[in-house]
Chain A
């Protein structure tokens, strides 16, 4: 898969050689599958010592134009560094690309070994010892993440509960297909929006399986800071509890591996402050609805001409969130 003719290989090697002491070249440049909005490449920097495993995160095609929703790659790199300073496990950033590097917009970070695929983390023997400690660890990590000094943050969008509700309601309306359960959920969210958060903080925005690098010893790195923003810290505690991220382990609300109480205890012990479970539930309803609406955006993309079978069928997964929403909002007793 490594390709000498790859147009980014030569400028990338130059940039790495210029910026990382002792490095004389790069090897095994491979495009990894992953985020649709960003490219992820894996390679090794080589020189006198052992090869250094690295990751390049790059804007699609290296585009330097700004995006409306994503934080931006330079911002992402800055956030990773800030989170690392307060003890969040992160992949250290080696280099933020400059226009003169001619590789496009992006940054280079260490490649942390581990697993991000939920089904392996939740089932494989290799992670058996990690699973019981993950919920508490997630709480501890989030407490640290939310403690990042707001004065040091790069410019970031602020998104309150009300902003999120309106944003996703607009997307739902654009889809123009009736989902009565979505309307019930939007109505409930509007009627139950908590008072403005007593504390606002840096929010990761996508803290769940796929973005957590996990090893036999637990969480090794928090990845993909693309959706980071300023908001209610409870949003992160709730997003990882959305049933879609439990991958079938419905009775382990935290990522399919643990209990809310363990995550909350870890959060409070690490200085995150008292957790209000009602507030977390509000954000879990909103998170569930958000994923449901996102599934319908796949239908819009499909109808607009992205004719992939996978894209098309994701539209038929919005119903998963509807049953989750009803179980949250209109539960029925056994009988």
Chain B
């Protein structure tokens, strides 16, 4: 167990520092890249909050889909190979749900304002 503030809180305050204090003193390309940097820290913050549980669940689903347990990286490689070979398809029970779940997790971390993600959330009935 680590001390406080938490990693999320540290990343959050650095992003706030960039936006509130550093950016107003910058111009042109530097200001633009500072905004991109603050947005990158937001991705880190969301990943710290969302990924641990999502990765556990991803691992559990992959173990079921593939019939054996391995590292998350290895299971993803196996999944890709079996989709490429046509052994797992959208007709395979659980595959479409799994692909939707990993994709929605990625978007929740990477680009939660993206139009395709916002629309997918609506279609999912969460909103």
Contacts and interface: CB of A to CB of B under 8 A. Distances in A.
A141 to B, nearest CB: 25
A208 B111 CA distance: 22
A178 B33 CA distance: 29
A182 B124 CA distance: 22
B115 A180 contact: no
B49 interface: no
Contacts of A181: 99, 102-103
B120 A334 contact: no
B122 interface: yes
B83 A333 contact: no
Given A181-B99, A248-B115, A313-B36, A323 B120 contact: yes
Q: B interface, by DSSP: helix, strand, loop or mixed? A: helix
Interface string B67-93: 000000100110110011010011000
Interface stretch (B8-16, B19-27, B37-45): B37-45
Contacts of A319: 103, 106-107, 110-111
A320 B109 CA distance: 11
A322 B40 contact: no
A186 B110 CA distance: 23
B80 A178 contact: yes
B61 to A, nearest CB: 11
Interface string A233-247: 000000000010010
24 contacts: A178-B79, A180-B79, A180-B80, A180-B98, A180-B102, A183-B79, A187-B84, A191-B86, A243-B115, A248-B115, A250-B116, A309-B37, A313-B36, A313-B39, A316-B43, A317-B111, A320-B117, A322-B107, A323-B114, A327-B119, A327-B120, A330-B100, A332-B123, A334-B125
Interface of B: 33, 36-37, 39-40, 43, 73, 76-77, 79-80, 83-84, 86, 89-90, 96, 98-100, 102-104, 106-107, 110-111, 114-117, 119-120, 122-125
